[in-house]
Amino acid sequence: MEQSRLISYKITTFDMLPDRCSIMENGKQCVSPPEFVVSVVVEKDEYMVGVTCNRHKQLVSGKIQFLQNDGKIPNGKISFSPLKAIGTDCIHGNMDDFVQLDG
């Protein structure tokens, strides 16, 4: 079975989105640029979960549903908002920016 994990990012209004998809497969982060912001809409609130490429859209959706069933993510509609990737080399992240979710 292929091991995948979703990486969650803490985003503030001054931060930019990550330059890569949030999925790690077999210990390696996907190198594809993000194509969608993934969020969960609960009533009038929306919670950003991460970003994903088109290739991993279904995988992310399944993982979020699994975590919702376990009560680790609020139940709500999973939303994929398209985005246009713009690259820059002036902002750098490190491994402390990644959080592994159980599941």
Type of residue numbered 90: C
pTM of the full structure: 0.65
Encode pLDDT of 9-45 as tens digits: 444 333 567 788 888 888 888 999 889 999 999 998 9
Q: Which residue has the tokens 């939303």?
A: 79
pLDDT of res. 56? 93
Higher pLDDT pick, 5 / 67: 67
Q: Is the pLDDT of residue 2 over 60?
A: no
* b/e sequence 2-21, b meaning 16+ C-beta within 10 Å: eebbbbbbeeeeeeebbbbb
Kindly state the average pLDDT of the residues 61-84: 91
Q: What is the mean pLDDT of the chain?
A: 78
